[in-house]
Amino acid sequence: MNAPPEPQSRWSRHDGGASLLLVLAAVFVFAGMAAVNLSRPTRPSDWLGFLVWFACMLVGSLVLNRFLPRRDPLLFPLAMFLSGWGLVAIERLAPAFADRQALWLAISLIAMLIAAAFPEALRWLRAYRYLLLALALVLLLATIALGRNPSGFPLAPRLWLGIGAIFFQPSELMKIILVAFLASYLGEGIASRRGDGSGSSAFQAMSPRLLGPMLTMWLLCMVILVWQRDLGTAMLFFVVFALLLYLASGDMRILVGGAVLVLVAGIAAYRLFDVVQLRVDIWLNPWPEAADRAYQIVQSLMAFGAGGIFGAGPGLGSPTYIPVAHSDFVFAAVAEEWGLLGVVAILSCFGVLAWRGLTIALTHGGRPFYKLLAVGLTMMLVLQAIMIMAGVIKLLPLTGVTLPFISYGGSSLLICYTMTGILLRLSSGAR
């Protein structure tokens, strides 16, 4: 499915309604912000978040129109819409964090524009992959030794590196570096073994020479992550890794083997780690402990019930019963105040994101690095969203990952936007 030339030239002329999407997103974020501020009489209204968001949207679309006129038209509006909604939700749930999140949004936008506008960025990801991987590993090791948690709870997982008042989560950075590493490594495997143009059935001989170093790298990452008890991220990495390996080899056994490995790891983790045991127990039946250990998930379910179809209205529900609702449980808070309509909207946005990302991958049929990179980044974003959304509705055991673009969290937002930037670059026919 090569990019058809005719519709693209039409998009470049008047971008096929994507700017109207941004206008509607702006109206939505404005109305949401205003409603939240209005329903909170004791506190002076705070418009910093909206102003920063609006400036980001204008600068972003101007720069993208200038440098990437033939990009995918939907990715940027989707990212802006979701993160604008996130700002409204944070302003509602934890106003103290809203300014900080707005600052991170500005930083994230700059990162996205750098990733999208400079073609060298992609080449560097490929050329310096070992260096980048080593750097990411060093950062992760440093997190084990020096890691902190900004919330200051003694038992909370220490996943952050802090310099002064700025905290960063190295495992977020690892998402991009790992996908880029796997994509270039597996891509070369495909390219070197492809004799007759049938790319998918190449790579069949899973030689230890090819897979050995990669599995070693992988085990190292897993050990570090499990050591840190960041099991959601470990799970995410493993699933994306298995998917990329499957795409590169076309071998069904990888999916089956991967599923078995996840199951074995899950059972082992259930026996070894109290956290996992707790998560699985309250997933199976939260009600006996609804007042203490399962309080968060039960309150989340209550919030979904309270929301109904149209929701309580922005600022009018009581989602603050959910502990730390602005982070992992933001989806439940949105469900209470925006109802089923809001839930369906967020699900649709992530669905469209997945579809656009995979379409970008399809346009790079002959370039395995770009193809695998697009698939890997899309999967990172969307699977993470699925994991946490399914977690808060008790469809899957809860894994403590953020909801991309929406949850509070600077590192997460920064990495999501950088991934979007790389996808935008790939969508406009990277060389």
Binding site for another protein (CB under 8 A): 1, 4, 6-7, 16-18, 20-21, 24-25, 27-28, 31-32, 34-35, 38-39, 73-74, 78, 81, 310, 313-316, 338, 341-342, 344-345, 348-349, 352, 355
Among 278, 276, 318, 321, residue whose Cα is nearest residue 298: 321
- Between residues 73 and 391, which has the closer beta carbon with respect to another protein? 73
- Between residues 311 and 376, which has the closer beta carbon with respect to another protein? 311
- Between residues 71 and 129, which has the closer beta carbon with respect to another protein? 71
| Type of residue numbered 311 | G
- Between residues 63 and 345, which has the closer beta carbon with respect to another protein? 345
- Between residues 27 and 395, which has the closer beta carbon with respect to another protein? 27
Structure token digits, residue 381: 């974003």
Q: Convert 65-97 to b/e letters by CB count within 10 Å (16 or more is b).
A: eebbeebbbbbbbbbbbbbbbbbbbbbbbbbeb
- Between residues 70 and 123, which has the closer beta carbon with respect to another protein? 70
Q: Would you say 224 and 141 are in contact if contact means Cβ atoms under 8 Å apart?
A: yes
Nearest distance from C-beta of residue 11 to another protein, angstroms: 9
Nearest distance from C-beta of residue 342 to another protein, angstroms: 7
- Between residues 16 and 95, which has the closer beta carbon with respect to another protein? 16
Residue that the structure tokens 């109904």 belong to:
308
Q: What is the C-alpha separation between 96 and 83, in angstroms, rounded?
A: 17
Q: Is the dihedral of CA 173, 148, 403, 166 positive or negative?
A: negative
Nearest distance from C-beta of residue 257 to another protein, angstroms: 22
242: Cα separation from own chain's centroid: 18
Nearest distance from C-beta of residue 78 to another protein, angstroms: 8
Nearest distance from C-beta of residue 99 to another protein, angstroms: 22
Nearest distance from C-beta of residue 428 to another protein, angstroms: 15
The Cα angle at residue 342 between residues 341 and 347, in degrees rounded to 5: 100
- Between residues 11 and 270, which has the closer beta carbon with respect to another protein? 11
Nearest distance from C-beta of residue 297 to another protein, angstroms: 27
Q: What is the C-alpha separation between 409 and 113, in angstroms, rounded?
A: 20
3-state DSSP assignment of residue 20 = helix
Nearest distance from C-beta of residue 32 to another protein, angstroms: 5
Half-sphere exposure of 183 (CA within 13 A, CB side): 27
Q: Would you say 49 and 33 are in contact if contact means Cβ atoms under 8 Å apart?
A: yes
Give the largest CA-CA distance in the chain: 71
Nearest distance from C-beta of residue 355 to another protein, angstroms: 8
Give me Rg for the CA atoms of the chain.
Answer: 22
Burial of residue 40 (number of CB atoms within 10 Å: 0-12, 13-18, 19+): middle
Nearest distance from C-beta of residue 341 to another protein, angstroms: 7
- Between residues 17 and 258, which has the closer beta carbon with respect to another protein? 17
Nearest distance from C-beta of residue 107 to another protein, angstroms: 25
Q: What is the C-alpha separation between 230 and 235, in angstroms, rounded?
A: 9
- Between residues 28 and 283, which has the closer beta carbon with respect to another protein? 28
Burial of residue 8 (number of CB atoms within 10 Å: 0-12, 13-18, 19+): middle
- Between residues 76 and 241, which has the closer beta carbon with respect to another protein? 76
* DSSP code per residue over 357-422: HHHHHHTTTT-HHHHHHHHHHHHHHHHHHHHHHHHHTTSS-----PPTTTSS-HHHHHHHHHHHHH
